[in-house]
Structure formats: C-alpha cells, structure tokens
Amino acid sequence: MLKELPIVAIYLSLWFCAITFYNQAAVHMPEKGIESYGFAVIQALVMSKIMLTAEMIVPVGVIFNPNVKYTIYLAILVRTTLASIVALMLRYSAAGTEGFFKHQGFVESMRNFCDGDIAHILALTCLYWLIILPYIAYRFILHLAGNEGLESYLLAKRS
C-alpha cells in the first residue's frame, strides 16, 4: 500500500489540477489563485488514501466471484461509482473550505459549488467516474492475472 499511495496520488493530482485549470481557463470560473491547485492536490491525496483503504477493507477478490460471468463488470461499476460519489463529496468539502478561508462561510460556499447547477454537478461526477475507472479496472485485472502475469503480458513482444 505504501508504494501505491504516491502513484495513485500523483495520478489523481494531475487529473484534479487539470480540472481546476479547465474550470478557470475554459469555463471562465473566477480565478481563485494557487489555493485551488493546493486544494486539488489535497483532495487527490485524501481520495487516494480512501481508495486504498477501501481496497484493504474490502479486497478485490471479496467483491466478485470469478466463476460467475459478469460479476467483475458489476463490481468495477459499483466500486467506481462509489469512489466517484466520494470524490464529489470531497470536492464539496474543498469548496466549503476555500470559502471558509476567504470568510464567505463554509455552508454558503458549498451551496454555491458549480453555481448550484445540477447539470454541471452531474457532468463533474461523470468526469470523476471516468478518471477513477482506469485505476479500478487495473486493480481488478491485476488481481485476476497476478502481478507477474500482468507484467509479462504487458511487456511481451508482439509480432
């Protein structure tokens, strides 16, 4: 777990900082300065810790039965959806914390997250879902193939 935490944290940090940059540049949300990127990195650290802790509490092998045909897909969908909801809740908390530090009120800032637009919030949840899906799928494939089996398959020469 210790060697996976920095990898997952860097992966999520890059994505969450990219979302922050997109919100400031393309969507023309108000510039909040460097603090927004700091909150994105903190959110990525917390999210990676939560994902790895959830994997320790409920390991991949407990969630699905490899003998039943479609349980792996269902398990990946459920775990990715739950992780996306947690990511959205963390983003709400980060918005509230940013507002608290700027003397705007924690709850008020959470209400103003994405200007209260449900379509924007759903789009952000879908984006989080797409960001988290590759990692969850990788962990399930790693469980099925084993570490050595997956590495040998991915690094094998193709002709």
Give Cα 84 to chain centroid, integer Å. 6
Question: pLDDT (tens digit, 0 to 9) for every residue of the chain, 159 residues total?
Answer: 678 899 999 999 999 899 888 878 876 666 667 878 888 899 899 889 888 888 888 777 676 666 777 787 888 888 888 888 888 888 888 888 878 887 888 888 877 777 777 888 888 889 889 999 998 888 888 877 776 777 777 777 766
Task: Dig out the tokens for 113 from the structure.
Answer: 């997250």
- Read off φ and ψ for residue 90, nearest 5 degrees: -65, -35
DSSP state of 93: H
pTM of the model: 0.75
Residue 25 exposed, middle or buried by CB count within 10 Å (0-12, 13-18, 19+): exposed
**CA angle 3-135-148, nearest 5°?**
60
